[in-house]
Homo-oligomer: A and B are copies of this chain.
Amino acid sequence: MINAKLPKMFYGGDYNPDQWPKEIWQEDMRLFQLAGIDMATVGVFSWALSQPDEATYNFDWLDEVLDLLADNRVYACLATSTAAVPAWMAKRYPDVLRVDFEGHKRKFGGRHNFCPNSPTYQHYSKLMARKLAERYHDHPALAVWHVNNEYGGHCYCENCEKQFRVWLKKRYGSLDQVNQVWNTSFWGHTFYDWDEIVLPNRLSEHMNGDRTNFQGITLDYYRFMSDSLLSCYQGEYDEIKAITPHIMITTNLMGTFKPLDYFKWAKQMDIVSWDNYPRFDTPMSMIAMRHDLMRGLKDGMPFMLMEQTPSQQNWQPYNSLKRPGVMRLWSYQAVARGADTVMFFQLRRSVGACEKYHGAVIEHVGHENTRVFRECAELGRELTLLGDTLLDSKIQSKIAILFDWDNWWAVEMSSGPSIDLKYVDQVHRYYEAFYAQNIQVDLIGVDTPLAGYDIVIAPVLYMLKPGYAAKVKTFVERGGSFVTTFFSGIVNENDLVTLGGYPGELRELLGIWAEEIDALFPDMNNQIVMNETYGELKGAYNCGLLCDLIHSEGAEVLATYGSDFYQGMPVLTRNRFGKGDAWYVASSPDKQFMQDLVRELCGQKGIQPVVQGPEGVEATTRTKDGKNYLFLMNHNNSAQKLDLGETSGRNLLDGNRYGGVIQIKAKDVLILEV
């Protein structure tokens, strides 16, 4: 349980009384009560207020806020305020400012604006964390610690450059080793002195964005930068932990956020929390996948939904309103997939600067008589009703999809074979097929044990880290089904090709050799032609993007290409290996193939959907103390009928029993205890 003081889902969000006169605070408390709000994230951007210069700390305002919250039975998710450095610090200690990708030293401005390797920043951010912990360790309002905010970004300053060399020394020991893993003999890049190494940006190895001359250098730089920020987090964490060992510490993550290796981060977090901000064109299945990924970061442990907008965002091109019911529906979707809190950015809309058109529970009009407030208050009422029923419940799955940040970085910085190859999209293509059938899936990292799963899918497993091939082999030998795709097994953890034939270390397991890789233009496709009907798989499907030209070396050829000069070569293979099997999908198939493949794989393992419903009705199950909680969520704009079969149960939200053929209203949610 996140915090035993309040045995229910925390409900609330970011709250910035420091941006408001005190006369507003009392009104806020009244409105929080009305809305059932019991958690406020405070102090996220208050560094300049709490510390006006090197020597002065001023926490009076925060004392007052926390006391007020406590008086009103609102708990604090207390932020350490280190995500934006004060202007005075930027002025006096320019080392806190970043240098950007183009090599420009930044000036004061924005947020997430600190260099993670700045000694000044490290010193004062840790000090701030300590001072807060010392002051509030026993405060009755304190429920959770919120370190910094949405860590991210890169810095290319001299301090980072120097620390990069230290990081490399630690990782590789010798410069010879660095030269080797980066393959610096290419283009005569051999380094004879550590100081010759520079950071990879537009002034050195990069053309633009991810396009680099040396993938190995950039890969290590990305790791180093993720680690640098993590070490800032860790610094604050350690200060706090020493003082309040029993309070959970988190920092808010951002789903499929590329710059940080969240699996590595999650190890250092007591609980995962994240901010759910889909773009205007994000499919529901992608939001679901992000929830599952966040849950997977700590092996299925529930997470905090730290931020979402109650109504609209401000930084999209077109900031449409969440339609009536959608905020509630999406809140429950988070819960259905592992969230144990429902929180917003933000509780009161700001009066100025760039987020003033971001939705809030309390809008600019300032009172409770708005559609948005009413919807928030209704959800608050329901969450109170739910109490601790769902807290700490788990989601169980026999299927895992691998997600790996290093692989993501490597795939997308590859020069060739196709600029259209996007890692998250490929993972999502597989995820979506399960999602559409309401089959529960875990998103796992390379360190996650495979033993509990029946099926492991690793789309575009381009980079094989040391030992991972062996881990997969063991999994298959013992009876598991493993599925991977084109452009897999190509490189090691330094983006050096595994010589001797693709897919490298997976060749034996998969029983194939990929001789060549063809890239298709966006308007071209090929076909997956089944040799004969194979369970759910039949006839022909379209495929595209990349086509591996593979030869079977023992694998059963289930389908071959339908056209081009490699017509007749295998495109779908299955290799029996020990008690299990290993599948290879040599191109990027259409949705129908995905659906059929998923059906076939699950069929073989006897894995059932949670519920088979009409399109757009999402279902998951959370389990606790032997009880199952079936979530049914209708994303459609119209009511849908649904056959629950023999399943029935009481809906926690209205107390009624549901079973057999039921109807679920547009945008509505049921949580059946079954």
- List A residues at the B interface (Cβ < 8 Å): 16, 18-19, 45-49, 52-53, 81, 84, 86-88, 90-91, 102-111, 182-193, 195-200, 202-206, 212-216, 280, 311-321, 323-324, 349-358, 363-366, 370-372, 414-420, 494-497, 499-502, 513, 515-522, 565
CB distance from A510 to the nearest CB of B (A): 15
A353 contacts which of B52, B102, B215, B499 (Cβ < 8 Å)? B215
A188-B47 CB under 8 A given contacts A414-B357, A415-B355: yes
Contact between chains at B109 and A515 (CB < 8 Å): no
Contact between chains at B417 and A312 (CB < 8 Å): yes
Contact between chains at A354 and B185 (CB < 8 Å): no
Q: Which residues of B contact A416 (CB under 8 A)?
A: 312-316, 319, 357-358
CB distance from A199 to the nearest CB of B (A): 8
A193-B497 CB under 8 A given contacts A318-B418, A416-B357: no
CB distance from A138 to the nearest CB of B (A): 26
Jot down 20 A-B pairs with beta carbons below 8 A, ordered by A. Answer: A48-B192, A49-B188, A52-B192, A86-B190, A87-B197, A106-B204, A111-B187, A186-B355, A212-B354, A215-B353, A311-B516, A315-B416, A318-B522, A319-B418, A352-B497, A357-B415, A357-B517, A364-B497, A365-B501, A370-B516
A516 to B216, CA, bound (A): 50
A9 to B526, CA, bound (A): 39
Contact between chains at B84 and A188 (CB < 8 Å): yes
| A-side interface mostly | loop
Contact between chains at A496 and B188 (CB < 8 Å): no
CB distance from A196 to the nearest CB of B (A): 4
Contact between chains at B107 and A104 (CB < 8 Å): no
Nearest to A280 among chain B residues (CB) is B521
A323 to B198, CA, bound (A): 41
A183 contacts which of B206, B349, B352, B516 (Cβ < 8 Å)? B352
Contact between chains at B19 and A189 (CB < 8 Å): no
CB distance from A321 to the nearest CB of B (A): 5
A103 to B106, CA, bound (A): 9
Contact between chains at A495 and B352 (CB < 8 Å): yes
Nearest to A51 among chain B residues (CB) is B188
Q: Which residues of B contact A363 (CB under 8 A)?
A: 515-516
- Known contacts A108-B204, A316-B416; 15 further A-B pairs (Cβ under 8 A): A107-B204, A110-B204, A110-B205, A183-B352, A314-B417, A315-B415, A315-B416, A318-B519, A319-B416, A319-B418, A320-B521, A352-B495, A356-B497, A363-B515, A370-B516
Nearest to A207 among chain B residues (CB) is B110
Q: Which residues of B contact A18 (CB under 8 A)?
A: 185
Contact between chains at B87 and A189 (CB < 8 Å): yes
Q: Which residues of B contact A501 (CB under 8 A)?
A: 364-366
Contact between chains at A415 and B354 (CB < 8 Å): yes
Q: Which residues of B contact A184 (CB under 8 A)?
A: 48
Q: Which residues of B contact A314 (CB under 8 A)?
A: 415-417
A515 contacts which of B87, B371, B419 (Cβ < 8 Å)? B371
CB distance from A47 to the nearest CB of B (A): 5
Contact between chains at A196 and B45 (CB < 8 Å): no
Q: Which residues of B contact A199 (CB under 8 A)?
A: 107
Contact between chains at B418 and A185 (CB < 8 Å): no
Q: Which residues of B contact A311 (CB under 8 A)?
A: 516
A522 to B316, CA, bound (A): 13
A364 to B514, CA, bound (A): 11
CB distance from A220 to the nearest CB of B (A): 12
Q: Which residues of B contact A192 (CB under 8 A)?
A: 48, 52-53, 87-88
Q: Which residues of B contact A370 (CB under 8 A)?
A: 515-516
CB distance from A172 to the nearest CB of B (A): 15
Nearest to A183 among chain B residues (CB) is B352
CB distance from A533 to the nearest CB of B (A): 31
Contact between chains at A193 and B351 (CB < 8 Å): no
A352-B494 CB under 8 A given contacts A106-B203, A415-B357, A418-B319: yes
A49 to B190, CA, bound (A): 7
CB distance from A206 to the nearest CB of B (A): 8
Q: Which residues of B contact A513 (CB under 8 A)?
A: 365
Contact between chains at B191 and A87 (CB < 8 Å): yes
Nearest to A47 among chain B residues (CB) is B188
A351 contacts which of B102, B104, B183, B417 (Cβ < 8 Å)? B183
A495 to B356, CA, bound (A): 10
